Amino acid sequence: MNTKIWDLRQMEQSSEELDALNEMKDIFENGGLIALPTETVYGLGADARNEQAIHKVYEAKGRPSDNPLIVHIHTLDQIDAFSSGITDEIKKLMKAFWPGPISFIVPLKKGYLCRSVSGGLDSIAVRMPSHPIGRRILQFVDLPIAAPSANLSGRPSPTTFEHVYHDLDGRVDGIVNGDQSEVGLESTVLDCTQFPFRIARPGSITQLMIEAILPNCITTQGALDIDKPIAPGMKYKHYAPDTPVKIIDSLEHQPSSNKNWDKTAFILPRSMRKLVPESATFITLCKDENDIRGANHNLYQILHQLDQDNHIEQAYILGFPINDESTAIMNRMMKAADQVIVKGEEL
Ligand code: TXA
Ligand code: MG
């Protein structure tokens, strides 16, 4: 398949942009697949009403089809067609955080979306992204667009055009270039099918941020238990680069100089650079030990980089103490590291 590339970054309101948008609308309406930028990660979009299109999404990603997809919208009015379960509480949260990096699982009204978008469940995840280009496309095509992360199943989620191109060139109808995703981690998934709500996947919109809008609306039962999958997608091996990665709990001194660090990368805040052994590779995780947003933004880019660099055979990454803001990145790091945490002082 010949994959078309669009770069809408310098095209705002031009006739070229209009041509490109019309072309994309055509592709979606005919059941095609287009990868597009969002502020969390790039998504692989398809018309959520079209069973064959959704089937192609699972096929292109090599993803098991019992794993439900998130439906992307550009206006709240679109939800009425596929859910009648939006309570005032849910609406309050949607209005507070949308457009933005949070998905809500709500009761599904059958008949409008195709069956496999929800993996046969009677609930559906929905999100309104804020990325200017992603949003522009959703507005123009005006369809509910199902979009999982635009990576091959089991690979880290894509945060740049290049990541998507590497995984999906030749497998999809088109890819839209829109710079590096600002947030860098997949959206928070909030299960609103029961009250109190439950965080099914932690993200950059945290429990405290949600409860600042709607006090005591979240049950923490099981939420921090990284081992137990809640969202069905979390039971598959995810986010893992081919290069073995271990989390280090802290690093106070330079690791032993008696060891050969030639093929080892240390992924640390810039403020800790002086602790990296001379023969090792230093990769910047973020500014300093408090810069969780920076680490969120960079993590997947770093995991992709590890696999491209044939010189690196193992990597150590600094973990963050678990708190409200670090829950999401620690959840992803634990998966990338296959749950392995080592003590920095023993290196
Ligand atoms: O940031 C994001 O959410 C990105 C961008 C593209 O929007 N999308 C994304 O989609 O990460 P995906 O398919 O890779 O992850 C969707 C997650 C999975 O863990 C899935 O199991 C869960 O949401 N999910 C979707 N619908 C669900 C439902 N009805 N019940 C429980 N979990 C659901
Ligand atoms: Mg994914």
State the total domains in the chain: 2
Q: Same domain for 137 and 190?
A: yes
Whose CA is closest to atom 3 on ligand 1? 187
CATH number for the domain spanning 315: value is 3.40.50.11030
pLDDT band at 287 (very low <50, low <70, confident <90, very high): very high
- What per-residue confidence (pLDDT) applies to 339? 86
Residue 204, marked binder: no
Q: Is 67 in the pocket of ligand 1 (CB under 6 A)?
A: yes
Residue 41 and residue 158 share a domain: yes
Ligand nearest to the CA of 147: 1
Look at residue 333 and tell me if it is in a domain: yes
Whether 136 has a binding-site annotation, put simply, is no
- Asked if residue 31 and residue 172 are part of one domain, the reply reads yes
Q: Give the distance (Å) from ligand 2 centre to CA of residue 284.
A: 24
Mean pLDDT of the chain: 92
Q: Is 72 annotated as a binding residue?
A: yes
What confidence tier does 222 reach under pLDDT thresholds 50, 70, 90?
low
**Model confidence over 159-194: pLDDT tens digits?**
999 999 999 999 999 999 999 999 999 999 999 999
Report yes or no on 150 lying in a domain.
yes
The pLDDT score that the predictor gives to residue 120 is 86
pTM: 0.94
Domain that holds residue 44: 4-213
137 with 251, same domain? no
Residues 208, 283 share a domain: no
In a domain, 229, yes or no: no
206 plus 263 within the same structural domain: no
Asked whether residue 116 is marked as a ligand-binding residue, the answer is: no
Tell me, yes or no, whether 21 and 163 share the same domain. Answer: yes
Could you tell me if the CB of 125 is within 6 A of ligand 1?
yes
Q: Is residue 228 part of a domain?
A: no
Residues 23 and 164 in one domain: yes
Print the SS3 string covering the chain: CCCEEEECCCCCCCHHHHHHHHHHHHHHHCCCCEEECCCCCCEEEEECCCHHHHHHHHHHHCCCCCCCCEEECCCHHHHHHCCCCCCHHHHHHHHHHCCCCEEEEEECCCCCCCHHHHCCCCEEEEECCCCHHHHHHHHHHCCCEECCECCCCCCCCCCCHHHHHHHHCCCCCEEEECCCCCCCCCCEEEECCCCCEEEEECCCCCHHHHHHHCCCCEECCCCCCCCCCCCHHHHCCCCCCCCCEEEECCCCCCCCCCCCCCCEEEEECHHHHHHCCCCCEEEECCCCCCCHHHHHHHHHHHHHHHHHCCCCCEEEEECCCCCCCCHHHHHHHHHHCCCCEECHHHC
Question: Quick check: 227 pLDDT over 70?
Answer: no
Closest ligand to C-alpha of residue 35 is 1
Question: pLDDT grade, residue 241 (50/70/90)?
Answer: confident
* CA 262 to ligand 1 center in whole angstroms: 38
Is the confidence at residue 113, as pLDDT, over 60?
yes
Please tell me whether residues 37 and 178 are part of one structural domain. Answer: yes
pLDDT of residue 225: 45
Do 115 and 258 fall into the same domain?
no
* Confidence at residue 242, expressed as pLDDT on a 0 to 100 scale: 85
Res 54: pLDDT: 96
User: Of 195, 213, 231, which residue constitutes the final position of a domain?
Assistant: 213
The answer as to whether 233 is a domain residue is: no
Give domain status of residue 72, yes or no: yes
- pLDDT, position 153: 86
Q: What's the confidence (pLDDT) of residue 245?
A: 94
Query: End of a domain among 213, 231, 263?
Result: 213
223 has pLDDT over 80: no
202 and 251 share a domain?
A: no
| pLDDT at residue 230 in the model | 44
Q: Is residue 240 a part of any domain in this protein?
A: no
Q: Is the CB of 153 under 6 A from ligand 1?
A: no
219 found inside a domain: no
Residue 116 belongs to domain with CATH number: 3.90.870.10
Q: Are residues 185 and 332 in the same domain?
A: no
Ligand 1 centroid–CA 252 distance in Å is: 38
The answer to whether residue 229 scores a pLDDT higher than 50 is: no
Testing ligand 1's pocket by substitution, the residue of 149, 163, 204 carrying the most ligand atoms inside 8 A of its CB is 149
The pLDDT confidence band at residue 36, using thresholds 50, 70 and 90, is very high
Which band of pLDDT confidence, cut at 50, 70 and 90, is reported for residue 65? confident
pLDDT one-digit tens code per residue, 304-343: 999 888 899 999 999 999 999 999 999 999 989 988 899 9
